[in-house]
Chains A and B, each alone.
Chain A
Amino acid sequence: MMARREQEEIIIHVEGLKNGFGEQIVHEGLDLDVRRGEILGVVGGSGTGKSVLMRSIIGLQTPLEGAIEVFGENTIGREETEATNIRKRWGILFQGGALFSTLTVSENVQVPIKEYYPGLDQALLEEIAAYKVVMTGLPPDAGPKYPAELSGGMKKRAGLARALALDPELLFLDEPTAGLDPIGAAAFDELTASLQKTLGLTVFLITHDLDTLYAICDRVAVLADKKVIAVGTIDELLALDHPWIQEYFNGPRGRAAVASAERAGAERAGART
């Protein structure tokens, strides 16, 4: 009952968004709602502006037109002091991790905590950083390493550890599984789902990974023709007659992802009996 009411609460509300660079228009009349507690997958062909949409929502890109509300507050054209209240409540994982290269992984995780809660003592900060690092699936000895010493996948996990530093309510992930091996990607999906469950996170997830969509996304938003052409569960999307959606989910990779999702479902069912 409680869960149902929370489901209906809108965390991110985008209306009539227009974005463009010079002559080129990326978004026009884009609407999107993200509900509390869901994992929303955002898909679309290359160059349809998935990352630009995320950057608009988090305030790195000022749209030409439109309104964006996060946690019920308008994010466009507001004062810097108002913005910090919202920044405390979200975490962002950029595509390449975007770790601060002069700091160790552990120090990277501590940066947001120190910024917003300067009173905590160093020993506790180190402990918090240490368990966050391990929770995101990095080996324990990764903490004192510098980003340059990490592989691409490890950088992503370290970036996630930093995004989760403040135990945010809202998490933005920009292609978290791109460049990871299948085992690592599956583990990352599982991690996202379990964090979402235990922390009650809302996740805005940009991905190309069909397995991720099937495994953890509650709803999927499809970006094409400069707007969100459809939002819904994968089954709902499949019922639509849009050529790109059909091609995307029914292509060879789409069918393979369905098969593996069904296999995983059957295994889970088998394990239960």
Chain B
Amino acid sequence: MRGSADFERVDSDGGTTLRFTGNLSLACLRDLPDRLNAVEGPVAKLDMRDVERIDTVGAWLIHRFARDHESTIEGLDDDEQHLLDQVAAAEHPIELPRKPADPFTRMLGEVGDAIFVAGHTLYGLLGFMGATTIAFWNVFTHPKRFRFNATVHRFEVVGVSALGIIGLMSFLIGIVIAQQGAVQLRQFGAEVYTINLVGRITLRELGVLMTAIMVAGRSGSAFAAQLGTMKLTEEIDAMRTIGVSPMEALVVPRTLAVVLMMPLLGFYASLVAIMGGCLLAWVSLDIPPITFIQRIREVVPITDLWVGLVKAPVFGAIIAISGCFQGMQVEGDAEQVGARTTIAVVQAIFLVIVLDAFFAVFFSEVGWI
């Protein structure tokens, strides 16, 4: 019953005829398209009397062949003729995908595109920072519009829930710094300076920096994905039409939460890292904790704590704003949400490190060395 599609060529006085047999359907085509392409010369008639069944792919092949060889088609019943007419009516010239340009031109094009996108993003981010500032001012002048519950909820999500992972990370980092420091300093017989190393580097740099990276990964990405999804499902448009400003309702609580939580988390991370260093010093250098803490108080100036605490809210603002900014840029489909979330995290960490370098220069200029 389900014979595969086939044809035979009959040459007579009236010209060439192709007589088709079998099932002209996608499942039974086999090599028919190639064989049809191989037929040369004018073909006067296509005889379809013996065809059992024809589907749109078969009809398309017949139509295309008849068009290219100027043949007439015979022996179709009404339904089959209708199908062929429909397929023929649907014909239109197609553009085959363009061939890619040569590698050098493509590279130049991609570099140009990347520079354009980077500039455009920076411009957009600055604009978004401005919009966030205005939103903060509006909330400040109209305190009733401040969303207290949403903000407190963000405190919990951004801050409290992060305590476990940030603590664990910092503790391990404290151990690693102390261990590596001890190995190097032992060569000079200056193992006791491990305490200076751990105390100063965690309070000044690593406590806040590692916290910023963790918060960017936990909360910055979440902001981008949340806002991006809300953008796709038109929730943000719905908010606007109701008269709620998405900047005030969504961006302000998130930014405020990260700005306030970052110094707390950073301070906590520094303390836990010092505890990690303390543990290693006790176990491997035989420095008792009481001596360790006494020594920390002597060698770590209070300005080191201020350096860390000044940087933290600035990093927090960068993380929150770039997360929210990328989330609001989502348009089109779900794939964008993923792409924008990635960009938000990468951008936040990059900007945090750039700013950290500026802060390092700044604080050494003002004498907080």
Q: Residues of A contacting B86 with CB < 8 Å?
A: 135, 194, 198
Residue B57 CB within 8 A of the other chain:
yes
For the complex, what is the distance from the CA of A143 to the CA of B93, rounded to whole Å?
11
A126 touches B33 (CB 8 A): no
Query: Please, what's the 1-or-0 string for B306-324, where 1 marks a CB less than 8 Å from any CB in chain A?
Result: 0000000000000000000
A167:B94 contact, CB within 8 angstroms: no
**Separation of A113 and B55 alpha carbons in the complex (Å):** 14
**CB of A55 within 8 A of chain B?**
no
Contact B90–A134 (Cβ < 8 Å): yes
Across the interface, which residues of A come within 8 angstroms of B333, CB to CB? 101, 146-148
Contacts of A199 in B (CB 8 A): 55-56, 83
Interface size class on chain B is 20 to 34
Which interface residue of A102, A117, A131, A140 has the most chain B CB atoms within 10 A?
A: A131
Residue B332 interfacial (CB < 8 Å) = yes
Contact of A167 among B55, B95, B97 (CB under 8 A): B55
Q: Is the CB of A131 within 8 A of B95?
A: no
Q: Which residue of B86, B94, B97 has the most chain A CB atoms within 10 A of its CB atom?
A: B94
**A101–B90 touching, CB < 8 Å:** no
For B74-102 the 0/1 string (1 means CB < 8 A from A) is: 00000100110011011111111100000
**Complex contact B94–A126 (CB within 8 A):** yes
In the assembled complex, B25 has its CB within 8 A of some CB on chain A:
yes
A127: contacting residue among B26, B64, B97, CB under 8 A = B64
Say yes or no: A197-B79 contact (C-beta < 8 A), given A101-B334, A144-B95, A167-B57.
yes
CB of A27 within 8 Å of the partner chain: no
Query: Which chain B residues lie closer than 8 Å to A124 at the CB level?
Result: 33
In angstroms, how far is the closest chain A Cβ from the Cβ of B175? 44
What's the minimum C-beta distance from B65 to chain A, rounded to whole angstroms? 12
Asked whether A123 is an interface residue with its Cβ less than 8 Å from the other chain, the reply is yes
Main secondary structure of the interface of A (DSSP, over half): helix
Which residues of chain B (24-50) have a CB below 8 Å from chain A? 25-27, 29, 33-34
Is B20 positioned at the interface, with any CB of A under 8 Å from its CB? no
* Contact pattern, A 138-177, Cβ under 8 Å of B = 1, otherwise 0: 0010011011100000000000000010110000000000
Known: A130-B94, A194-B86, A199-B56. A101 touches B335 (CB 8 A): yes
User: B92–A130 contact, CB under 8 A?
Assistant: yes
Mark out the residues of chain A between 51 and 102 whose CB falls within 8 Å of any chain B CB in the assembled complex. Answer: 88, 101-102
Contacting pair A134 B56 (CB below 8 A): no
Tell me the minimal C-beta distance from B207 to chain A in angstroms: 41
Q: Is A1 an interface residue (CB 8 A)?
A: no
Which A residues touch B94, using CB under 8 A? 106, 126-127, 130, 140, 143
**A88 cross-chain contacts in B, Cβ below 8 A:** 27
With an 8 A cutoff between CB atoms, is B60 at the interface? yes
B64 touches A132 (CB 8 A): no
- Residues in B whose Cβ lies below 8 Å from that of A267: none
Contact assessment for A135 and B90 in the assembled complex, using a CB-CB cutoff below 8 Å: yes
- Of B60, B83, B91, B334, which one neighbours A198 at CB under 8 angstroms? B83
A261 within 8 A of B: no
What B residues does A166 contact at CB under 8 A? 26
Taking the complex as formed, is A121 at the interface, i.e. its CB lies under 8 A from any CB of chain B?
Answer: yes
Given contacts A113-B26, A120-B33, A167-B25, contact A131 B87 (CB under 8 A): yes
| Residues 124 to 181 of chain B near chain A (Cβ within 8 Å) | none
Query: Is A128 close to B, CB under 8 A?
Result: yes
Query: Which residues of B are at the interface with A, using a C-beta cutoff of 8 A?
Result: 25-27, 29, 33-34, 55-57, 60, 64, 79, 82-83, 86-87, 89-97, 332-335
Can you spell out 6 A-B residue pairs with CB atoms less than 8 angstroms apart?
Answer: A120-B29, A127-B64, A131-B87, A140-B93, A167-B57, A198-B83
- 6 additional A-B pairs beyond A121-B34, A164-B56, beta carbons within 8 Å, are A128-B56, A130-B91, A147-B333, A198-B83, A198-B86, A199-B55
Interface residues of A (CB under 8 A from B): 88, 101-102, 106, 113, 117, 120-121, 123-124, 126-128, 130-135, 140, 143-144, 146-148, 164, 166-167, 194, 197-200
